[in-house]
Structure 1
Amino acid sequence: MSLQYAWYKGRAWVWVLLPFTMLFYTLSHLRRLLFKLHVLPSYKSSLKVVIVGNISVGGNGKTPTVIALAEHLLSKGVSCAVLLRGYGGTQTQFPYLLQGDDDPHDVGDEPALIARRLNIPVVIDPKRARGAAFIEQHTHAQVLLCDDGLQHYALQRDIELCVMDGRGVGNGYLLPMGPLRESVARLNSVDYIVYNGEQPHTQAALSKVSTDIAQMQLLPSAWVNVKTHEQISLAQGLSLFSSEARVVALAGIGHPQRFFDTLNASGIEVSESLAFADHHQFKPTDMPKADFVLMTEKDAVKCASFAEQNAWYLRVDAKLPKTFYEYMCAKLDV
């Protein structure tokens, strides 16, 4: 966590990592050049391919963006599928088409979440080209949505979306000096930047980026019991999680503070906030003693097998501008 703290707080000691950053730049730049020159092969899918990725490490809202896009396409009668790496899962046989009862510890938390929210094919495969070919052959999808994969150039794409949050690009340096997988200049070649929350207007590194921006809001819609799946309104949740109760919030996402801030903004008084690493594999011993344990939906899929009735997750839905959806549909010709 200390390295990530340095990335976003502008600590000067990261300069000791300059030799490693130069090596990372050389290798990554050479790799992309080899794909551009067709020295390394890239796969052209018969499906329309939308990449929802980022240029920085860590979670910042890619999965809610994918879910929102899929729901919009489905509402227009367009069939789609989702392809992910399956990060954090133990599955070794690829490509793998998720089933309804898959354990998130096997397939990864984000694939499990998407499969439970959407009644569409969800496939995991670290080799995106192979996964895309599998989806072509075994599903009726017209559009392939890739959750992550902006840097996976072995799969050609029709649309590139870069998702960012209020942390922006941190100190603006490449790994490991900073959080970036690619330079800020890469933002000028994507189709859209999707901002999850407030834009970091003060960051000088973003001043020369000309790509269109879509402001995304993650809007809480309901509280859902992790064990029983009972659903209550936000107002009912506020009343249930009263100030007289001991309420503990936990989050194992890319930016846990975002979840804690959401709870605070909703008026819920939290006794303790527990932050875990992104993709943390929760165990029963991680569950705190409390009257109520509040968590994200991403964490809930990993806690469902052992959660008690005092555990609830906040369902959130991504809201994106109408102009963004119009652009996407026009570019996809749907």
Structure 2
Amino acid sequence: MRKPGGLEAALQSAWLHGGLLAQALRPLGALFGLISQLRAALYRLGWCKTATLPVPVIVVGNWIVGGAGKTPTTLHLLQLLQAQGYRVGVISRGYGGSAEGCSLVSRASTAAEVGDEPLLIHLRSGAPVAVGRNRVAAAEALLSAYPQTELLISDDGLQHWRLPRALSVLVFDERGMGNGRLLPAGPLRQNRRLSAEPQLVLYNAPVASTPLPGHLADRRLAGAVTLADWWAGRPAQAEALAALRGKPVLAAAGLAQPERFFSMLREQGLAIQTLPLPDHHDYADMPWPANTATVLITEKDAVKLRPERIGHVLVWVVTLDFLPEESFGLALLAQLPSRPA
């Protein structure tokens, strides 16, 4: 079982609780903050130009490093906006992908090419998705290919100042703002005073974890589906997950916070052996022992595992229901610009 070790473990503890290491890194955090403020000021004063796009952009991001729930939030926004009749596209950095420039994601794409999260978003929602280091160029590529698009969601990109945004959705989990300091003295990627656009706060947690007013989201496991059926588009079933209680299973997760997944499985009454993997683990080789019989993975892992690669192992994909309060959807729709007649 992989656990954070050495400097990684010390940093994670310091980012949450403070201590001597966080104090020692404060000068570097101050330098990071100064550079961030300078970049933001260049755009605010007009010396660097924010791009112009013909459709509004909603940026989904978090101030804290590590997974706080951006992808489930993006998927929920897509569902909400599509239900309102919006034609929505998604742009993403495509972290972990090898594609150069900008690429449009398709069912034939691989996570190695376009990144695991963009591929998952496209497979789950059917929405057009474009990836690229330059978010503005990715947006332009998507709008050129899908000119009927009325609205864009940027999966991450809060610190991509050239990207225009009509609204930002800030996602926090139980960690809140950690020790409240900027990298590397703390986990914050930006000073909270840098953003000027309208913002909504969503807590991927049972209770608010910062002083910022916001909305809560309930996360729960929806069920399980075999890897082959998941790729075929079949839904997960709660009964399939419940049937695994009392059986020896291994749970693997290539997430920033894998223990969150493991805890949810235990809450369902499963006795699991855990295999935490690095975030965005590539699954170039099977990470579990060859004699493993049954494995549970997340959808983020599933996009990197084709059924023909798993041999005799029975792999179940465990899916997540992510349900923000109704007030979140109402607040979001109220802040969107009026649709063209």
> Do the structures match in fold with TM over 0.5?
yes
Q: Which moved more, 1:11-20 or 1:295-304?
A: 11-20
Match of 2:320 in 1: 316
Query: Is 1:108–2:115 an aligned residue pair?
Result: yes
Seen in structure 2, the aligned counterparts of structure 1 residues 10 and 198 have a Cα distance that, compared at 3 Å, is: farther
Question: What is the alpha-carbon distance in structure 2 between the residues aligned to residue 329 and residue 14 of structure 1?
Answer: 40
Q: Is the 8 A contact 1:162 1:187 kept in 2?
A: no
What one-letter code is carried by the residue in structure 1 that aligns with 2:116?
Answer: D
SS of 1:273's partner is: strand
Match of 1:255 among 229, 252, 257: 257
* Pairing of 1:237-252 with structure 2 (within 5 A): 237-239=241-243, 241-243=244-246, 245-252=247-254
Give the fraction of aligned pairs with identical amino acids, expressed as a percent.
32
Question: What is the alpha-carbon distance in structure 1 between the residues aligned to residue 86 and residue 284 of structure 2?
Answer: 39
Match of 2:3 in 1: none
Match of 2:206 in 1: 198
Match of 2:228 in 1: 227
Match of 2:279 in 1: 278
| Cα shift at 1:33 | 0.6
Question: What is the alpha-carbon distance in structure 2 between the residues aligned to residue 278 and residue 190 of structure 1?
Answer: 30
SS of 1:236's partner is: helix
Question: What is the alpha-carbon distance in structure 1 between the residues aligned to residue 219 and residue 279 of structure 2?
Answer: 18
Query: Is 1:326–2:326 an aligned residue pair?
Result: no
Match of 1:268 in 2: 270
SS of 1:176's partner is: coil
Question: What is the alpha-carbon distance in structure 2 between the residues aligned to residue 255 and residue 303 of structure 1?
Answer: 20
What one-letter code is carried by the residue in structure 2 that aligns with 1:215?
Answer: L
Match of 2:138 among 126, 131, 136: 131
| Cα shift at 1:299 | 1.0
| Cα shift at 1:323 | 2.0
Seen in structure 2, the aligned counterparts of structure 1 residues 117 and 165 have a Cα distance that, compared at 3 Å, is: same
Q: Which moved more, 1:277-286 or 1:68-77?
A: 277-286
Question: What is the alpha-carbon distance in structure 1 between the residues aligned to residue 224 and residue 167 of structure 2?
Answer: 34
Question: What is the alpha-carbon distance in structure 2 between the residues aligned to residue 68 and residue 281 of structure 1?
Answer: 25
| Cα shift at 1:55 | 0.7
| Cα shift at 1:232 | 4.9
Question: What is the alpha-carbon distance in structure 2 between the residues aligned to residue 274 and residue 199 of structure 1?
Answer: 28
Aligned-residue RMSD, C-alpha: 1.9
| Cα shift at 1:88 | 0.7
| Cα shift at 1:72 | 1.2
Q: Which moved more, 1:216-225 or 1:163-172?
A: 216-225
Question: What is the alpha-carbon distance in structure 2 between the residues aligned to residue 6 and residue 46 of structure 1?
Answer: 43
* CA deviation vs aligned residue, 1:112-160 (integer Å, no higher than 9, x gap): 1011101111000111111122222221210100000011110111011
Q: Is the 8 A contact 1:53 1:160 kept in 2?
A: yes
Question: What is the alpha-carbon distance in structure 2 between the residues aligned to residue 137 and residue 331 of structure 1?
Answer: 26
Question: What is the alpha-carbon distance in structure 2 between the residues aligned to residue 160 and residue 232 of structure 1?
Answer: 31
Question: What is the alpha-carbon distance in structure 2 between the residues aligned to residue 258 and residue 232 of structure 1?
Answer: 19
Match of 2:71 in 1: 63
Question: What is the alpha-carbon distance in structure 2 between the residues aligned to residue 213 and residue 121 of structure 1?
Answer: 29
Q: Which moved more, 1:17-26 or 1:180-189?
A: 180-189
Match of 1:298 in 2: 300
Q: Is the 8 A contact 2:220 2:264 kept in 1?
A: no
What one-letter code is carried by the residue in structure 1 that aligns with 2:216?
Answer: Q
Question: What is the alpha-carbon distance in structure 2 between the residues aligned to residue 123 and residue 188 of structure 1?
Answer: 26
| Cα shift at 1:310 | 0.9
Query: Is 1:34–2:74 an aligned residue pair?
Result: no
SS of 1:285's partner is: coil
| Cα shift at 1:190 | 4.8
Question: What is the alpha-carbon distance in structure 1 between the residues aligned to residue 59 and residue 13 of structure 2?
Answer: 28
Aligned length: 323
Q: Is the 8 A contact 2:166 2:197 kept in 1?
A: no
Q: Is the 8 A contact 1:187 1:193 kept in 2?
A: no
Match of 1:89 among 70, 94, 97: 97
What one-letter code is carried by the residue in structure 1 that aligns with 2:186?
Answer: G
Question: What is the alpha-carbon distance in structure 2 between the residues aligned to residue 129 and residue 174 of structure 1?
Answer: 26
Match of 1:214 in 2: 215
Question: What is the alpha-carbon distance in structure 2 between the residues aligned to residue 228 and residue 79 of structure 1?
Answer: 28
* CA deviation vs aligned residue, 1:243-285 (integer Å, no higher than 9, x gap): 2x32111111121111011101111111x11111211212333
What one-letter code is carried by the residue in structure 2 that aligns with 1:167?
Answer: R
TM-score scaled to structure 1, two decimals?
0.91
Q: Which moved more, 1:129-138 or 1:247-256?
A: 129-138
Q: Is the 8 A contact 2:222 2:236 kept in 1?
A: no
* CA deviation vs aligned residue, 1:17-64 (integer Å, no higher than 9, x gap): 222212211111100110111111111211111000111111111011
Query: Is 1:148–2:151 an aligned residue pair?
Result: no
Question: What is the alpha-carbon distance in structure 2 between the residues aligned to residue 172 and residue 22 of structure 1?
Answer: 12
Question: What is the alpha-carbon distance in structure 2 between the residues aligned to residue 34 and residue 238 of structure 1?
Answer: 55
Q: Is the 8 A contact 2:97 2:115 kept in 1?
A: yes
SS of 1:52's partner is: strand
TM-score scaled to structure 2, two decimals?
0.89
